[in-house]
Amino acid sequence: MIVNTELEYKGNLFPSKIVSYSKDVDTLYFKTDNDVVLELTVVRDSVLRFRFTTTGNFENDFSYAITKYASRGYNKLEIEEEKEVYKVTTSKLICEISKLDLRVSLFDAIDGSLINEDELGFHWEESYEFGGNIVKMSKASHDGESYFGLGDKPAKLNLKGKRFENWVTDSYAYGKNTDPIYKTIPFYTALHNKKAYGIFFDNTFRSFFDFANERRNVTSFWAQGGEMNYYFIYGPQMSDVVANYTDLTGKPHQLPPLWALGFHQCKWSYYPESKVKEITQKFRELRIPCDAIYLDIDYMDGFRCFTWNKDYFPDPKRMVKELSDDGFKTVVIIDPGIKIDMEYSVFKEALDKDYFCKRADGPYMKGKVWPGECYFPDFTNPEVREWWSGLFKELVEDIGVKGVWNDMNEPAVMEVPNKTFPNDVRHDYDGNPCSHRKAHNIYGMQMARATYQGLKKYSYPKRPFVITRAAYSGTQRYTSTWTGDNVATWEHLWIANIQAQRMAMSGFSFAGSDIGGFAEQPQGELFTRWIQLGVFHPFCRVHSSGDHGDQEPWAFDEDVTDIVRKFIELRYQLLPYLYTTFWQYVEEGIPMLKSLMLFDQEDVHTHYRNDEFIFGEKILVCPILEQNARGRRMFVPRGKWFNFWTNEIVNGGKEMWVDADIDSMPIFVKEGAIIPKYPVQQYVDEKEIDQVVLDVYYKEGKEDSLFYDDAHDGYDYIKGRYSFRTFKLTGKPNQLIIQQHKEGKFTANYQQFLVKFHGLPFKVSSIQIDNVDIPLANVKMNGDNSMIVDKDFTELHLVGE
């Protein structure tokens, strides 16, 4: 692939020597004597954009992935012409461009070390079938270099030695190493010599990445059309690379409502209304917390989107209101296929306004989906997106639906060999007309965007909640996602763990799997282990294909129900911690789940770990992935960690055995952490919370922890009505000091913290709160090591004997 020697040599398949250079503020142009032009844009000191053309002219610069809110600007930019290279220097990077052949080398500006260099660099070959170029880039791959990312690929986290394809695909019952599947996120991070960099190849055509698979010392990426257009993002911390990529492609436009982080129950399908009520009542009867109930395609009239089957749901507005009164938000499915039916108003309106996709020669794109033969809106047309968003008025504003999930939006088409649109389908592409070859990978993203715009409009003043199956880079701005039609197997439990971690390191943290598996029927043990993992994923939903059996928490036996309840209750206790983590993701692009190499890239052992991950900043989780296991060996990263269940302290940096019978799983808390917790609720904001627990884990040394809070819905937090607390812990052999700093105008209803201390190495002899001595008789410090303090304390000081 890298070089096709059978092609006629065109004269500029490879760039030749540079003959001219020019600069326009932050953009530099290097032209070769065979008309190849490199456009180098300095986006930030650590972010460079490389864009090539072989015709001397660039196409209209348009991207669905790059957000208009991306940070721009740099502190330093120097360009020097040397004998063999042009040298571009920022405060973070030195970029050398070879005068001989336009090849690029990138160095750390601080210590001068090589980060990344082109092998053959940019080259191309002609696409004889479709016209245009197949654009390619090859770079040197060094010994010990590791690669991570690329979205939802169901393969081991370290991508070294593998090759992948990016083409959004409906992959029912996919397996380990199936490729491609539902999402296209052409971004990876590389780690070498303890330094990380990232490459985002912003090209929506079918693309490929080869990580030293074809040739041992070469990594390459290429696309079957479009431009060679990529961003180079330097860390050197991997977490900074991911945060900068997320900044570039967009952080979520707002926090989700807190209920969206609760537990959700779904099935294909719950109907009629009596069945929906039976399920929701059972949750309340068994005291298993749940915030959302889902309606799959059977709620519609003949699978027509935006309609209701009045036999199953005679009065949806009343039902949704009654569910809401019982603490359940209703979430409904909406697919892209619109049934061909002249009596169906949505179809008729779109037909009259010419909103459907067409084939190259003029006829409408027709395909079979659930309703039978359908036409499909062109979501790349802004006018169509506006129309689509307006269709949600009745569902959301009138009936009261609180969330929408977009399925089948790859787009999936049944009973055709390629499972999707033919390549010749035409798209508006926001005024840049193109074929489906270019628009395929962003079709689902643009549907999700239009759905999000509708939900945002009609949910106001509440926050929108949208889920999508298909996605391209940047989709995280609008929606959450799940990992598609998985299977009830132990292998898929492993895959779910990998995918959630990989999505987080690919800028898309608000993700989860169909807990228990969509296809086939899990045994109680598998369902239990999957719940244990799923409660630590940002999106937490059980979903199953109903033709194989039931998959509610009570569908197995009492033992399973009790364990599942215990872990869902833990999820609800940890909601303030999870919400804080989400706030950090929205504010700074910090991934909500961190694979161990993201957490500690200095330790090369972490580069090859798949199972363990950090939930938020302070909690280490390792799912049990094998049947009949009563524990497992796991790698604990460097530092000291408290066993969540026993408070035993372990020293990390090594692999160790951890006991975890069916009612447990390995969970550890970083020393020095302060974890906020709510009381168990059956649904978010069920209770008036009068006290928040702070679990304090002793550390000799310093550690900061955060606690973000607001009204849990609405937009007041944007106006400063939030509460952001920073806890600074300082531990000494016989002292513990906690200092609190608060900002924001939000005042929560609770007045107190119940502070629980873990691992104090001394017996408390005196306590000061805000420099005032507190009689020991007033607290139970040496009983259960807890005490109640006013939520607005500024310093808590324990002294030991």
Cα gap 691→184, rounded to integer Å:
44
Cα-based distances in Å from 478 to 254, 373, 396, 455, 481: 9, 29, 17, 10, 10
Q: What SS3 state is found at 547?
A: helix
Burial of 791: CB neighbours in 10 Å, binned 0-12, 13-18, 19+: middle
**Helices vs. strands in the chain: H and E counts, helices first:** 11, 51
Strand partners, 369: 372
Contact partners, residue 778, CB within 8 Å, separation at least 6: none
Mark 526-565 as b/e (b = at least 16 C-beta within 10 Å). Answer: bbbbbbbbbbbbbbbbbbbbeeeeebbbbbbeeebbebbb
Cα-based distances in Å from 501 to 157, 165, 393, 414, 529: 8, 19, 35, 31, 17
Strand partners, 613: 595, 621
Q: Show the tokens assigned to 367.
A: 């395909």
Q: How many CB atoms lie within 10 A of CB 81?
A: 10
- Residues 295, 330 contacting (CB under 8 angstroms): yes
- Residues 135, 223 contacting (CB under 8 angstroms): yes
Cα gap 518→484, rounded to integer Å:
8
Q: Residue 705: which of 724, 723, 721 has the closest Cα?
A: 724
Cα-based distances in Å from 757 to 574, 728, 734: 17, 15, 14
Phi, psi of 240 (to 5 degrees): -70, -35
Tell whether the torsion through CA atoms of 176, 178, 180 and 186 is positive or negative.
positive
Backbone conformation region of residue 714, classed left if phi is above 0, alpha if psi is from -120 to 50, else beta: left
- Residues 247, 79 contacting (CB under 8 angstroms): no
Q: Which sequence positions are flagged as catalytic? A: 407, 410, 485
**How would you classify the pairing of strands 207-211 and 218-223?**
antiparallel
Cα gap 394→308, rounded to integer Å:
11
Cα gap 801→798, rounded to integer Å:
10
Query: Per this entry, what is the length of the chain?
Result: 801
Q: Residue 122: which of 20, 245, 12 has the closest Cα?
A: 12
Mark 700-721 as b/e (b = at least 16 C-beta within 10 Å). Answer: eeebebbbbbbebbbeebeeee
Q: Residue 288: which of 663, 546, 567, 689 has the closest Cα?
A: 567
Backbone conformation region of residue 276, classed left if phi is above 0, alpha if psi is from -120 to 50, else beta: alpha
